[in-house]
Amino acid sequence: MMPDPSDHLADRHFSAIAAIIESRVGIRLPAGKRIMVEGRLRKRARALGLAGARGYGAHLFEDGGLADELVHLIDCVTTNKTDFFREPSHFEFLRNVAVPQLQQRKDTRPASLKIWSAASSTGAEAYTAAMVLQDLANAGAPIRFSVLGTDISTEVLREADMAIYPSAFVAPVPMAMQQRYLMRSKDLRQDLVRIAPELRCKVRFERLNLMDESYPFDRDIDVIFCRNVLIYFDGTTQKAVIQRLVSHLRVGGYLMLGHSESMAGSGIPGLQQVAPTIYRACPTALGRSAA
């Protein structure tokens, strides 16, 4: 059904939504994003039985619905673009450089690697990292690993936890990995796949707003992926987010940013750039020992 051409958010409602999203999430919604926002809000309005985007705005700000609806509002306007093996050079670096270097710790036990996908969306990035690490383990590398995926959207986190995807969506996964780590639906009409239990048990997902003042996670993470989300923040917010992420890296750990964010980590204390979009935590700058 085509939307009613007269169905638009009231100007005051769009301004209020834009202000809320920027203050809570750090994402700016200029006037050029208004049509996109209204399109997404119409879908949510239908789920609530409301009269389009205009009715949804009235529900939020005139009928007292904002408190109960805030999480859903954030879900609606948050962009969640993701792919398996997106920016593949990062995963080649993980396999060929990061893991071998992280294995050179002083202890003799198998390395227990902690990976964090800090804007995980529906889970493709987290599961891609898990595939790469499991392949290394299967090939005899003495490693154990766990992967944490976080996102502000509860909707995409539910999808990530289910780990069910259309077959076309997993096309970037090499065929050998598809055969090892993907299960095909028994109902061929559905054309769906699911991540194998071998990987699902090593990946967990939790909700996190990168705008929060602190993150309730371990401070000995080996590799943090924070890709293609900083572009939605202003420079001050980018720097604050990166500094908080760096505080969770172990000495020698890696931070990987998106290619469009290649300069965002420049000049951040505690980081040494080792590739255009890859940074390593430095012991001297972090004030910590490498033991």
Residues with active-site annotation: 40, 151
Partner residues linked to 194 by β-bridges: 164, 183
Q: In whole angstroms, what is the distance from residue 100 CA to residue 96 CA? A: 7
Q: How many residues does the chain have?
A: 291
Rounded Cα distance, 38 and 174, in Å: 38
Cβ-proximal residues to 76 (8 Å cutoff; 6+ apart), any chain = 37, 40, 41, 43, 44
Contact 205, 157 (CB under 8 A): yes
As a whole number of angstroms, the distance between CA 288 and CA 266 comes to 20
**Rounded to whole angstroms, what are the CA distances from 241 to 117, 131, 178, 237, 289?**
14, 27, 34, 6, 23
The burial of 14, by beta-carbon neighbours within 10 Å (0-12 exposed, 13-18 middle, 19 or more buried), is given as buried
- Distance, CA of 24 to CA of 210 (rounded, Å): 10
The token pair at 266 is: 């420049």
Instruction: Report the distance separating Cα 234 and Cα 252, nearest Å.
Output: 28
CA atoms of 42 and 5, how far apart (whole Å): 12
